[in-house]
Chain A
Amino acid sequence: MAEVIFFIAAIGAIAGAVGTVALRNPFYSVLALVCHLLALAALFLLLRAEFVAAAQVVVYAGAVMVLYVFVVAYVGGSDEPLTASTGATLRPVSLLFALALFVELSIAIIGTGLSALNSNGAPYTSGFGTPAEVGALFLTQFLLAFEIASLLLLIAAVGAVILARRRAGLGDGGEFSVADVMRGQPITAGDAPTETMLEAGGPSQR
């Protein structure tokens, strides 16, 4: 039974990966990646990683992919021209490189001296992979990594807002940097256009 589920999930994951790379419309690429992530979550479940599988579905296939879909819809999923204007000769070389990478990794995995790889793994103990165990490890042994991850998420959120901020036109005095904020310039909306990011953090528009 586990073998059947493994092969179905593995084929789904590989097909999703190929679809992500091969489909020309970015919107379909995102949808293929969602299929890939769901199949991967099934593989995680087979490996007794319940919490990781749940986080994969909720965070990755849910939140992150919605972000992707929004950006593809905003930027416009324009089809890539099939014949590349530049680097057309490098494309077969790239594919050859990917194939060589797979062959090398396979040789390393199959020819390894790690005899435990051919077993079914350590015996299953009760509680392995459950949220309780993950939480206990995060708050004891890996507390520093946990705190650094939260700080990193905060920095990424602020950075994304700064990067994607709506500017009031190029060379229009609408540019400001973090240094301006530090110098204590009045950070008000001023007469900035409403319903933009400037309402949240931009300088006055004069």
Chain B
Amino acid sequence: MPLTWYLVVSALIFSIGAGGVLVRRNPLVILLCIELMLNACNLALVGFSRMHGNMDGQIFALIVMVIAACEVAIGLGLIVALYRRRLPIDVDELTELQG
């Protein structure tokens, strides 16, 4: 398979994730959409790694997975903290930081 196909799939998944971040209002689903975007980047990185016959891209993808795991831990911690304070789980209503 030519690598162009992989890159087009990666671009499509990234666009779906970006649209999801903009459209959805539940912070849990927004986190899931960020995961989608990170995974699309991983696919492109692994594809380029295959193209060059060099494994640096795979190392990059693994580090991206670590970053994603950290982001999930902090994001879910924030959501649980919101829930404990009886705040609405909706990004449109959490406007305190807008000043």
Q: Which residues of B contact A64 (CB under 8 A)?
A: 35, 68-69, 72
Question: Among the listed stretches A2-10, A181-189, A198-206, which one makes contact with chain B, having 4 or more residues with CB under 8 Å of it?
Answer: A2-10
Check B9 for interface membership: any CB of A closer than 8 A.
yes
Residue of A nearest to B3 (CB): A117
Q: Is A89 at the interface (CB under 8 A from chain B)?
A: no
The answer to whether the Cβ of B94 comes within 8 Å of any Cβ in the partner chain is no
**Complex contact A105–B4 (CB within 8 A):** no
Given contacts A159-B73, A164-B80, contact A20 B47 (CB under 8 A): no
| Proximity string of chain B (18-40) to chain A, C-beta cutoff 8 Å, 1 when within and 0 when not | 11101111101101110110010
Which residues of B are found within 8 Å of A124, using beta-carbon distances? 53
Contacts of A159 in B (CB 8 A): 73-74, 77
Q: Which B residues are CB-close (under 8 A) to A85? A: 92
Give A128-168 as 1s and 0s: 1 = Cβ < 8 Å from B's Cβ atoms: 11000110011000100100010011011101111110110
In the complex, number of A-B residue pairs with CB atoms less than 8 Å apart: 237
Interface contact B53-A80, CB-CB below 8 Å: no
* Interface residue from B5, B36, B71 paired with A33 (Cβ < 8 Å): B36
User: DSSP class of A's interface residues: helix, strand, loop or mixed?
Assistant: helix
Q: Could you say which of A36, A52, A84, A123 contacts B62, with CB atoms under 8 Å apart? A: A52
- Asked if A44 and B46 sit within 8 Å, CB to CB, the answer is yes
- Residue A97, interface by CB 8 Å: yes
State whether A170 touches B85 (Cβ < 8 A).
Answer: yes
Dominant secondary structure at the B interface: helix
Across the interface, B53 reaches (CB within 8 A) one of A46, A102, A121, A152, namely: A121
- A13 partner, pick from B13, B32, B81, B89, beta carbons under 8 A: B13
Does the CB pair B22–A94 fall under 8 Å?
Answer: yes
Chain A residue contacts of B61, Cβ below 8 A: 49, 52
CA distance A195 to B6 in the complex (A): 49
Query: Does A87 touch B at the CB level, under 8 Å?
Result: yes
Q: Which residues of A contact B77 (CB under 8 A)?
A: 159-164
Is A194 close to B, CB under 8 A?
no
**What would be 13 A-B contacts, judged by CB atoms less than 8 Å apart?**
A26-B29, A46-B1, A63-B69, A64-B72, A67-B73, A109-B8, A117-B4, A129-B55, A134-B58, A156-B69, A157-B73, A159-B73, A164-B84
**Which B residues have a C-beta under 8 Å from some C-beta of A?**
1-9, 11-20, 22-26, 28-29, 31-33, 35-36, 39, 42-43, 46-47, 49-56, 58-59, 61-63, 65-74, 76-81, 83-85, 89, 92
Q: Apart from A49-B49, A59-B65, A125-B53, what are 10 other A-B pairs with CB-CB below 8 Å? A: A21-B17, A21-B36, A33-B32, A46-B1, A52-B62, A55-B65, A56-B65, A68-B31, A106-B11, A121-B51
